[in-house]
Structure formats: C-alpha cells, structure tokens
C-alpha cells in the first residue's frame, strides 16, 4: 500500500508527549501480540484529536497507556510536562478524564444524579466526617445540568441507573469535566448509543471541549464524527499512525477517502 503518512508540524505548548513506546501482550507465549514498536505521538494544548483505525491497530491500547490501565514495556508517557510512567491509573485520574464506551462505567448506578455530581465535585479533596452532599451546591448542579437539554436539572433525586444510555453518557461527560483536567479521553463514547443519542452526546462533547478549551483525544469508529469534530485526524494501522492531518490538510479529506484507505489496508492484510 502507498504510504499515507502526512507531515504534521506541531507548534504551541505540548500537553501529551509519547516517545519510543514498545508494547507486546503475552510475550513469549503462543498468544504473543505485538502492538507498538517505537511508537510516538505528541498533542498540543487545546487540540481535539480524532483517532480512527481498524481493529487491533492500537487505538484502545494507546488510551490505556495514557490512563495507566496498561503499562508500556519501554518508552515514556508525559502529560502536561509530568512523567506519568510510575503513576497508577487512580493517580492519573486526578488530571485525566475518561468517558468509556459503556455508559455504566462513568457513573454510579445505585446513587442519585445529585450524589454522583457531589462525588465528582469533590474529586481530589480529602473526605472527613461531614455530609457527602453539600446542599448549598444544588443550584450549581442544576445550572451545570441545564445546558444538556435533557431535563435532568429537575430530576436530581433520580437514581442514575434509571436513566437511558444517552442520558447516562451525557452525565458521565459532565462528571469527568466538573473539576479541572489536563486531558479528556473519549473511548468510543457514542458506540453503544442509538443514532439520536449519539448525535446529542457528540454535540454536547463539542460544546464542552470548546467552552472549557480541553485537550481531547477521541477514539471513534464513526468516520463522519471523526471528520466533523476535532481539529486533527489520526488513522492507526498495525501500531503506527498512517495518517496524521490537521487544518487544511484534514479538510482535504472526505469520508469516502477514509473508506478507500480502510479498503487499501484490508487488501494489504490479505482480506
């Protein structure tokens, strides 16, 4: 297949720096699976990067390396100038927000909307012998929920488990951005939703990212979303970026071009 690598000069303050990453799952076994060999990626502060790629291309592993749920075999991961190689996932959660594909993973189903928001509001603070919910924050929570356009601001005492998938995912996005974060990770966060809910969550995502000026890395299988949202597009294949475009370079591509590239990759792999 013809090389698809496009030069992408990076300028401005760096938020994410991933260098010389190596990762192999189950090394030395019959199930050995190499994913990354000397992989690198940089993301500037305020960039909204959409990542696409075939199954097994390394998209989810990339997110897990950043969040600390999977350790690299070699290489360096930096976020906001700090080396996070030795930090566990719960430590990185202080400055990295993640919205998962499964809406149930970003919220506590047995707690109310109010209780979920109170937990998110107190992230990083010390807990003592005091009420977990501060009644004086009720109006602030309602004000935060109102822009979602889902009517949740009037249903604070509903348990989150009774909400629809789209409502839970919108709430999960709100919860992980209530406190300041350096990086927002979107892990196929619309894949489990119906088309209408997907559109609502993506519109909300774009608004939250723009208003809060969040550095964002979104993995998606939806090529239209990859082209419509964000300001940089990366296509992964076999642990490397085969396409990395921004600005006018990104605008030169259409969804049909991406479909053709996926077809070329499939042929190269013998499918």
pLDDT in tens, 14-72: 999 999 999 999 999 999 999 999 999 999 999 999 999 988 899 999 999 999 999 99
132-170 confidence digits (pLDDT tens): 677 788 899 999 999 888 999 999 999 999 999 999 999
Going by C-alpha positions, the residue among 7, 9, 3, 12 that lies closest to residue 215 is 12
pTM confidence score: 0.90
The first and second tokens of residue 182, run together, are 């350096």
Identify the CA nearest to 15 among candidates 47, 43, 41, 51: 43
Q: Domain locations in the chain?
A: 45-68+88-107+163-269, 109-162
The verdict on domain 45-68+88-107+163-269 having CATH code 3.30.70.890 is: no
> For the residues of 121-144, what is the DSSP string, one character each?
HTTTSPP-SS-SS-GGGHHHHHHH
């Amino acid at each position: 297949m013809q090389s698809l690598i496009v030069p992408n000069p990076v300028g401005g303050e760096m938020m994410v720096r991933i260098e010389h990453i190596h990762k192999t799952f189950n090394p030395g076994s019959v199930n050995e699976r190499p994913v990354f060999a000397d992989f690198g990626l940089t993301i500037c502060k305020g960039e909204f990067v959409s990542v696409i790629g075939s199954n097994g291309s390394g998209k989810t592993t990339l997110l897990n390396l950043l969040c600390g749920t999977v350790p690299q075999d070699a290489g360096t991961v930096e976020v906001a100038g700090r080396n996070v190689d030795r930090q566990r996932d719960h430590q990185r959660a202080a400055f990295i927000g993640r919205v998962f594909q499964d809406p149930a993973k970003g919220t506590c189903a047995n707690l109310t909307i109010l209780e979920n928001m109170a937990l998110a509001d107190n992230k990083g603070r010390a807990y003592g012998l005091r009420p977990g919910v501060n009644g004086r924050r009720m109006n602030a929570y309602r004000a935060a929920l109102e822009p979602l356009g889902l009517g949740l601001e009037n249903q604070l005492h509903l348990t989150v488990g009774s909400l629809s998938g789209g409502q839970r995912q919108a709430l999960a996005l709100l919860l992980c951005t209530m406190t300041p974060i350096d990086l927002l990770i979107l892990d196929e966060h619309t894949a489990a939703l119906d088309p209408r809910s997907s559109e609502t969550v993506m519109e909300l995502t774009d608004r939250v990212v723009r208003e809060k000026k969040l550095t964002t890395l979104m993995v998606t299988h939806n090529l239209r979303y990859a082209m419509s949202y964000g300001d940089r597009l990366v296509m992964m294949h076999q642990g490397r970026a085969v396409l990395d475009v921004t600005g006018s370079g990104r605008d030169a591509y259409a969804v049909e071009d991406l479909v053709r590239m996926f077809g070329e990759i499939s042929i190269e792999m013998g499918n």
